[in-house]
Amino acid sequence: MWDSQIDARSLEHTNRKKVAMTVTQNGNTAELSLRPDTQWLADEHTQYPVTIDPSTDALDVLFDTFVQGGDTTDQSVNTDLKVGWPGDHEGSTKRVARSFLTFRTSNFADALVSKASLKMWNYHSWSCEKRDWEVWASGAADKNTRWTKQPTRTDKIATSSETKSAACKTEGWATADVTSLAKTWSSAKAETGSIALKAANEDDVYAWKRFYSADVADQTKIPTLEVTYNYRPYNGTNLQAGAPFISTGGIFKVNSTTPTLRFSTEDTNGDDTIVGTYEITDTATGKVVTTLNASPAAANSTSQIKVPAGKLTNGKTYSFRTTTFDGEHYANGWSAPVRFTVDTAWKPTAAESTLGLANTYSDAADITAATSSDST
């Protein structure tokens, strides 16, 4: 965790503190608890806001290298990544450099990306004057990549003018906004994503820059792809009407005009809070009777709502379907509908009452929805 104090030169957070973590096991469920230092939080030198366990992933650098005009050797274990022209030649070849990186992107495959930044530790530049460098979508480089054998660059994604250098006392992160490319990788459910870096003007020596690669000893300065993302919640499963939450032939029966409807909330982001929306339809007319929003429920638990009086009529059959909202995104569409019949004269048998009581005190996911009682 860190507070809001930032070093002006590196843009790094200067007041940082490790957060203790504990893991507890309860059956098949493991819970990770974060326990921030309360003395640090209460310290007069701590400046709020404080960020604890940010919703950002620093993704693995699977491979990086650079190529340079005139060089014929593999540079994938070099601690440098270079862009631009340092002003010299190898014979008649200008020693222009370009860099290539491949990141692991499976972490956010099929997610909704809101922001993505490429961060490169720029420790040396030709000049303190700003010069543009570009980020391109490209094919993946490997140990055989050379100036004469480069991956194909497809689309220019971003141009950054950030220029840092130890000589200018500004050594630190140079960043580029690559949100559009991260969204493309996410939509494609890509396991990896590759980029190329180059100077915008490869004839201008002022555009020469050296970044640290993933092979540098100080692993806090390696190339970093930071992606903020969220997964949509699912639209609801295990839809049930009750009590007693039992059905015959897939149709639930209730003996009240104000029954409880419920379903299982499902979300990849387990710490989300889910608002369930219930749409009730008269199956005879096909018209929507009412749409209700339940109180927020934890992800991967049970959402439920009691239908208000005056919405349902005794003797009719209805269906309901659900969708969800996690505070940021809605689910894609609606769940499949489930039918229920209102019969205020219905009196459950002893066996049905026993089963219904057990179901009432269970989560929606813990019972079999289409269940009928027999002598067994």
Domain range spanning residue 43?
1-53
Q: Does any domain span residue 372? A: no
Does 221 lie in the same domain as 101? yes
Q: Does any domain span residue 376? A: no
Does 221 lie in the same domain as 78? yes
Does 341 lie in the same domain as 205? no
* Domain end call among 197, 230, 263: 230
C-alpha distances out from residue 321 to 11, 238, 240, 300, Å: 49, 11, 10, 18
Q: Does any domain span residue 66? A: yes
Task: Give the pLDDT means over successive 10-residue stretches in the chain (376 positions).
Answer: 73 76 86 90 93 62 93 90 91 94 92 93 94 97 96 97 94 96 93 97 95 92 92 87 83 93 86 91 95 92 93 95 89 92 88 72 55 48
Does 36 lie in the same domain as 82? no
Q: Does any domain span residue 332? A: yes
Task: Answer whether 64's CB lies under 8 Å from 216's CB.
Answer: no
* Domain end call among 189, 213, 230: 230
pLDDT of residue 369: 43
CATH no. for residue 255? Answer: 2.60.40.10
Half-sphere exposure for 93 (CA within 13 Å, toward CB): 12
pLDDT of residue 21: 86
Does 244 lie in the same domain as 223? no
Does 111 lie in the same domain as 160? yes
| Count of domains observed in the chain | 3
pLDDT of residue 117: 96
Does 190 lie in the same domain as 88? yes
Does 79 lie in the same domain as 47? no
Does 218 lie in the same domain as 83? yes
Using DSSP's 3-state secondary structure scheme, residue 306 falls into strand
Residue 205's Cα: distance from chain center in Å?
39
Tell me which amino acid residue 210 is.
Answer: R
Does 48 lie in the same domain as 175? no
pLDDT of residue 289: 94
pLDDT of residue 254: 92
Q: Which two tokens stand for residue 167?
A: 């000589």
Q: Does any domain span residue 374? A: no
| Sheet strands side by side (includes 153-160) | 61-68, 97-104, 192-199, 133-138, 153-160
pLDDT of residue 52: 81
Does 222 lie in the same domain as 305? no
pLDDT of residue 371: 46
Does 221 lie in the same domain as 278? no
